[in-house]
Amino acid sequence: MSTATITVPVTVAEHENCPATSVLRRVGDKWSVVILSILERGAHGFNELDRSVEGLSRRMLTRTVRALEEDGLISRTVHPRVPPRVDYALTDLGRSFLEPVRALGLWAVAHQSDLEAAHSR
């Protein structure tokens, strides 16, 4: 495992080219972590995902699963039948992605009162 050197201040170009930037965008996007958490329980069809997340439009679900597939975090399997069925499942990379995300969530819960106190000051 190599270690990268980060210079400070970071230029815009360095920020855009940093691998962490795209990962943090994925973590920070509204629906990706929700979809990944659902798929952690097992493969789901598109309609199952659609019914599982209140407030998520079908268009945004389509965009989110495409981005997650492009990132290699989920796989898409088409079952040839009428009508066709598409299943989405976590990949090993997706499972490993959820580990630090879960740690970040636990940190947020543990420090919720500290964060709230800071906001109120």
In tens, the pLDDT along 87-102 reads 999 999 999 999 999 9
Mean pLDDT over 58-74 rounds to 96
> Can you state the angle between helices 58-70 and 32-40, rounded to 10 degrees?
70
Q: What integer is the mean pLDDT of 51-80?
A: 95
Confidence band for 48, pLDDT divided at 50, 70 and 90: very high
pLDDT, residue 11, reads: 84
Ordered structural domains, the chain, with CATH: 12-120 (1.10.10.10)
What's residue 25's pLDDT? Answer: 85
Q: How confident is the model at residue 70 (pLDDT cuts 50, 70, 90)?
A: very high
Mean pLDDT, the chain, rounded, equals 90
Asked if 88 and 65 touch (Cβ cutoff 8 Å), the reply is yes
Q: 2 pLDDT exceeds 80?
A: no
C-alpha atoms less than 13 angstroms from C-alpha of 36 in its C-beta half-sphere: 27
**Average pLDDT of span 2-24:** 77
